[in-house]
Amino acid sequence: MIKKLLMPALLVALVALLGCDNRSVTTTSGSGTTTEIGSIELSLNNTLHFYSQSAIGDIVDTLSVVVLDVQHSSIAGVQVSCNVSPVGYVTPIDEGVTDDSGTAYFRYTINPNSTTLSGDYTVGFTATAGNKYRALSMSLYEQGNLTLEFRSPEAGDCVYRMEDGQTIPVEVLASRVIDNDGSEETVGVEGVRINLRATGVTTTLPGSISYQGVTDEDGIARVYYYNGSAQPSDTVQVRLTARIGDWDDSTPEAQTNILINVLNDYGNMLTLTQPQSVNLRADYLCSDSTRFVWQLKDSQGEILTGKRFDYTVNIGELDTYLGVTDDNGQLVFTWRSCSNEGDLLELNMVGPHRTYTYTYPVGAPRTIGLSVLSPVNGSMLEIDSECDEDNAIPVRVLMKYNDDNSPIPNRTVNFAATYGQIGGNAVTDASGVATVSWQDCNESDRDSSLVITANYMGNATTPLLTTNASYTLTLPLGVPNRITLSAVRDTLPQYEGSTVIDNTSIVATVFNSQNQTLGNGIVLGFKTNGIGTISNLAYTNANGQATANFVMNEQTGVSAIRAFYEKPGTSPAETLWSQPTSVSVLSGLPANVTLETGTPRIQIRGFGANSVAQVEARVVDASGATITENALTYFKILNGAPDGVYLSLPGQSEQIFEGDSIGTYSANGIASVTVNAGTRPGTINIQARAIGSGYDVSSSSPLVTVVAGPPAYGTMDYDGVGEAIGGGMWRVTWSVHLWDRYSNDVRDSSAVYFSLFPEDVCSMDGFGQTGIGVDGGEGYHGIAYDYMQYGCNTIGDTLVACIAQSAGEVATITWDDSWPPVPIDTSWAAGQVYVAYPEDNNPWPMDPPATTFQVPFQPGDRDDNLQIFGQYSNIVWPMLPCGGHHTTEMELRVVLVDGYNCRVANQMIQVQIDQPHTLDPEDGIVITDDNGSATLVATLYSNILESTGQECTTDNCYNFIPLIVNYNAYRLPDASPVSNLGSVTLSRPCQN
């Protein structure tokens, strides 16, 4: 009682002596606030422990003490003390001071060398911080009066006989009953050593169990039972016994046992995983099969590998009769049946410990068919009295499944014929077709009935499939081998109006391979190229000749006529054609000339360009038909052609320029000349004139256009005005003007590729087209544009070169694997060109630049803006201690941006403060980083408040007048710009 009264009196006297508040406080830097301890919280890792006399030192726990203020927020840096009673020791961790989370830690232990325990205890803990304290208790029980219980397996459980190396987990619980706030509670006891034993009830081979186990924090000891291969063949009963104490101890501390049954089976499971649904059937051709996949697992569901199995089946066959389970515990084999009817399959799989037997119904096989495709059944086949091998007739049969008409490949089909010679056998291809050749050279077989037979034997001794087809044999003098053709008249007069002036006979003669003419009845067909008409077919006479009538139509020119013979009974059809003969249908006098070209555009010569177009003049009569007679034709380039354009005859080097003529004779009414590109783009107007007896006709046409050549050189520049595009990004427009070797603007839509060096300062879109504006609209001839993008932090950085490269029109450009990538133009000359800025910089190869340039920016008002920010707006220092002083560190940050809100880096900034202070760095000068910002630390002192004077005096406690401290910044060396003015208010009031 005296101690409780003495401590408050002593504190009151101390407050009167110092003239300051007696509450415990902590000070945070620059805040000037105090913190009052409101409460304490205690916790243990475990409020319940068991001990044994031999392991007292194993009792270890951690006590956590949390110190909170009146707002229930944690307080750091508070000294905490802790006591324990009646047994054990607490030792502070980290000197018992609360960390950033407001927690102090203590270690609880018992020294077995100096402590003797007996019975149960309630251990009390008391923690104190400032004038607050908190208590907590722990229950400590002696490890005695224990009960043992088998948790698994349970009494009467059945377990499988196991293979070598397999075990069954056994769990034994050690527990005791404790008093928990007036009610009994059963809890597991940790650290108990339990002895175990397995004994046989009906056998002397009970297996074995782990000799000893130790309970975990839940009071459970986990051991393993093993029966192994020593078990007898019958089911046995085994007693499992657990006790605390030696086996020779007649009064053990605790003991329990259970009876389990060990079954005479290993519990292995063989499961069919493929197929999911077993649907077996026989196969007439012995080609269909079923793949079985089995998986072997033990009673615990674990995969069993390396187990040997022997297989037997009563029908069909397996691809193997022995298997060993693989890494996935799988057995894989294939079954098939070659029988002709269904049955019941019995599959036996003899494993290491048992035989697995399965039965499956086997369905009837699929039906198959064999049919003759060609020759068509009933056709007449010709005997070849010449025995020419080229005249052999192909015989084709199809082998297929009847249910879905799917072909059967790779099967050998046998053939036979009642007359002639036939191939003995053939193998069906992917479409199920087998093909052999038949031929009959014996004229005495004429008018006989031929039967061709095909059969499939398989592995049988009698045919499994048979088909046949019958034909009638005929005897011509031979087989057509060659057809000649002739016209009675090879020239017909001019076609006039709708009146047919004339016709002529076309005679075809048929020969065999011995160059003998064939006889009556051979059917020949006839065709023309569209000039004139002819009979569709005609029959040969006794001399092997067939005559067709050719009649003029509205077309004039040369008619190409052919005769042909289609061999009967062949699939696919085989046709014999004659060489063509011709009949000329004359045209009228030339009445007009038309001009045509297949190359309407040519490129100016240069760098291997294709700069030639062939122009054809077609001379026609009054009806528009091309003349058949040759006409002298002159070509001329009319006035106004581009510079340097000339004509020449195909294959000749003579050059005819504007105003001069070049002449040549037409062939079948067509004359041609070549025109070559000159040095300037433009349109070439060409005239063609045909002159002869009774006619002088001409025409002209601007058929050919000359386009500019490939790029040969160019100039490059940018507009010098940056454009803000948002997100701190800018862009500027680059342009390149390209000319060919003769200073012509290159053809619009030529591809231009842009690149920058170095690449990490700015970026280019990389592609433009001449004649197209930077935003895709109409541009200027020969000029391509591209944007260069850059960020605020790269304005003013140095660039080595901007490069544009081009080699042709974008629509025809491909790329090869070279570097730098070179475009390949497949239809125009590949005049590859590189243009660089600055002009005296040679980018390929990259030589050291003679000059460099900077990233361009927007001209005009770019005044920079400088701002300064302080960490605090108010600093309140406590009066404790009354005669002492305080310091506070305050961070100041400056930010420099330009007129476009771009951060300005690498600038020197001077910071100044109007009251006594110290700075870090000492001179107050900082350099802005890439984000345009820099920081420094100002240290302020409480004694500068003494200059403001005392506001009042209460019990010798001074309350100073607040002081405003101002600060700002400016850029060196020209003190522009100057930042805003910042301030912080300092105060030091007395605590009540």
Residue 173 has pLDDT above 60, yes or no: yes
- Look over the chain and give the mean of its residue pLDDT values, rounded to a whole number: 83
Question: Across residues 761-767, what is the average pLDDT?
Answer: 86
As a whole number of Å, the CA-based R_g of the chain is: 56
Provide the pLDDT for residue 618. Answer: 92
- The SS3 call for residue 12 is helix
Residue with the larger pLDDT of the pair 987 and 825: 987
Question: Taking Cα atoms as reference points, which of 510, 471, 503 lies closest to residue 487?
Answer: 503
Residue 313 is predicted with a pLDDT of: 94
Residue 16: pLDDT band (50, 70, 90) is very low
What are residue 369's phi and psi, to 5 degrees?
-130, 155
> Percent helix, strand, coil in the chain (nearest 5)?
5, 50, 45
The residue that leads in pLDDT, 243 or 958, is 243
What is the pLDDT, as a whole number, of residue 954? 55
Q: In what order do the strands lie in the sheet with 269-274?
A: 269-274, 290-297, 330-336, 317-318
The answer on pLDDT for 485 being more than 50 is: yes
What's the pLDDT at 815?
47
Q: Is pLDDT above 50 for 702?
A: yes
For the segment 809-847, what is each residue's pLDDT rounded down to a tens digit? 654 444 455 554 444 444 555 567 888 888 765 555 455
In this model, does residue 915 exceed pLDDT 60? yes
Q: Partners of 875 in the beta sheet?
A: 986
Closest CA to 614 of 645, 649, 664, 569: 649
pLDDT band at 970; cut points 50, 70, 90:
very high
Which comes out higher in pLDDT, residue 209 or 818? 209
87 pLDDT exceeds 80? yes
The pLDDT value recorded for residue 826 is 44
Percent pLDDT > 70 in the chain is 87
Minimum mean pLDDT range among 73-87, 371-385, 919-933: 371-385
> pLDDT digits over 358-386, tens only?
999 998 888 899 999 988 888 888 787 66
Is residue 341 packed enough to be buried (19+ CB in 10 Å), middle (13-18) or exposed (0-12)? exposed
Reply yes or no on whether the pLDDT at 447 is more than 70.
yes
Q: Which residue has the tokens 């050291």?
A: 848
Q: In this predicted structure, what is the pLDDT of residue 411? A: 92
Which two three-digit tokens encode residue 254?
A: 């605790």
How many alpha carbons lie under 13 Å from residue 8 in its C-beta half-sphere? 4
Confidence (pLDDT) at 396:
94
- In terms of pLDDT, which residue wins out, 239 or 28? 239
Structure confidence at residue 22 (pLDDT): 28
Residue 339: count of CB within 10 angstroms of its CB: 15
Measured over the CA atoms of residue 416, residue 421, residue 427 and residue 433, the dihedral's sign is: negative
> Looking at residues 67-92, what average pLDDT do you find?
92
Residue 500 pLDDT exceeds 60: no
Per-residue confidence (pLDDT) for residue 10, from 0 to 100: 27
Separation CA 316–CA 289 (nearest Å): 10
Confidence of residue 105 (pLDDT cuts 50, 70, 90): very high
What is the value of pTM for the model shown?
Answer: 0.39
Q: Comparing C-alpha atoms, which of 711, 842, 701 is closest to residue 770?
A: 711
b/e 637-648 (16+ beta carbons within 10 angstroms → b): beeebbebbbbb
Least confident of 100-109, 155-164, 444-453: 155-164
Which position has the higher pLDDT, 476 or 433?
A: 433
Omega within 30 of 0 (cis) for the link into 92? no
Kindly indicate the confidence band of residue 204, based on its pLDDT and cuts at 50, 70 and 90.
confident
Cβ 303 vs Cβ 295: under 8 Å: yes
What is the mean predicted confidence (pLDDT) over 131-148?
Answer: 87
CB 104 within 8 A of CB 97: yes
Between CA 405 and CA 697 the distance in angstroms is 69
Residue 493 has pLDDT above 70, yes or no: yes
For the segment 723-738, the average pLDDT, to the nearest whole number, is: 85
The pLDDT value recorded for residue 765 is 83
Predicted local confidence at residue 451, as pLDDT: 94
Q: Which residues pair with 370 in a beta bridge?
A: 399
CB burial string 272-288: b at 16+ within 10 A, e below: eeeeeeeebebbbbbeb
Quick one: pLDDT at residue 497?
Answer: 56
Residue 556: predicted pLDDT: 80
